């Protein structure tokens, strides 16, 4: 029923664009964490990518605090 209400209200395009922006941002966070962890972390990059995938905001904060090696 919700998709019908959104389509009838005429604002469906904006909702889809907002959802798409969040999806692109989410994927970009996971990819950035993986590539950065390969270069700057002694921990496995794949595990950090999984942490960010499962808990995006908390995962990024944890990676920045605990995951990156100090240089």
Note the pLDDT tens digit of each residue in 12-32. 778 889 999 999 999 999 999
Domain containing 40 equals 24-71
The total domain count for the chain is 1
What pTM was computed for the model?
A: 0.77
Could you tell me if residue 3 is inside a domain?
no
Contact 27, 4 (CB under 8 A): no
Q: Is the Cα dihedral 60, 66, 40, 49 positive or negative?
A: negative
Could you tell me if residue 34 is inside a domain?
yes
Rounded Cα gap, residues 17 and 2, in angstroms:
17
Residue 45, Cα to own-chain centre: how many angstroms?
15
- Report helix, strand or coil for 42: coil
pLDDT digits (tens, 9 = 90+) for 49-66: 999 999 999 999 999 999
Could you tell me if residue 42 is inside a domain?
yes
Could you tell me if residue 37 is inside a domain?
yes
| Other beta carbons within 10 Å of 40 | 14
Could you tell me if residue 69 is inside a domain?
yes
């Amino acid at each position: 029923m919700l998709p019908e209400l959104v389509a009838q209200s005429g604002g469906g395009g904006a909702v889809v664009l907002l959802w798409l922006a969040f999806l692109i941002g989410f994927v970009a966070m996971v990819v950035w964490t993986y590539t950065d962890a390969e270069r700057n972390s002694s921990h496995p990059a794949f595990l950090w990518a999984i942490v960010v995938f499962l808990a995006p905001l908390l995962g990024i904060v944890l990676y920045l605090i605990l995951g990156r090696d100090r240089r």
